[in-house]
Amino acid sequence: MVHVEAGNVAAHNITLTAGQATTVEFADDCEAVAIIVLAATQPVYFTVDGSAATIGGSNTHVIPPNSAREDVEPDTAGGTTVRLISAAAATVSVERTS
């Protein structure tokens, strides 16, 4: 799990291991977050509503491997949790956008 302390805005260069979920937890309640795919050969799937991220899951958002950014508003109050997964290794950054 990656923690982003209160007042900080991002976690950078997070390595996703193929097929294993990674969680990024913001201490702050974020109005919106961006997932920036720095390197990937497969799509990166993610959730911001507290549910598990699954590869190709119907409850997930997806970022294609050649895309750079996706802004999403979390569906929960309190701290913000982003869960990410990919079928192949990937490197991402997750940041608060507001």
pTM above 0.75, yes or no: yes
Q: How far apart are CA 17 and CA 78, in angstroms?
A: 28
User: How does residue 73 score in pLDDT terms, banded at 50, 70 and 90?
Assistant: confident
Q: Where are the alpha helices (DSSP H) in 3-48?
A: none
Above 80 in pLDDT, residue 95?
yes
- pLDDT value of residue 93: 95
Above 80 in pLDDT, residue 68?
no
In Å, how far are 51, 63, 68, 95 from 90, measured between CA atoms? Answer: 21, 12, 12, 16
- pLDDT value of residue 70: 66
pLDDT tens for 28-63 read 999 999 999 999 999 999 999 889 999 999 999 999
pLDDT tens for 6-24 read 999 999 999 999 999 999 9
Show me where the domains of the chain are located.
1-14+30-83
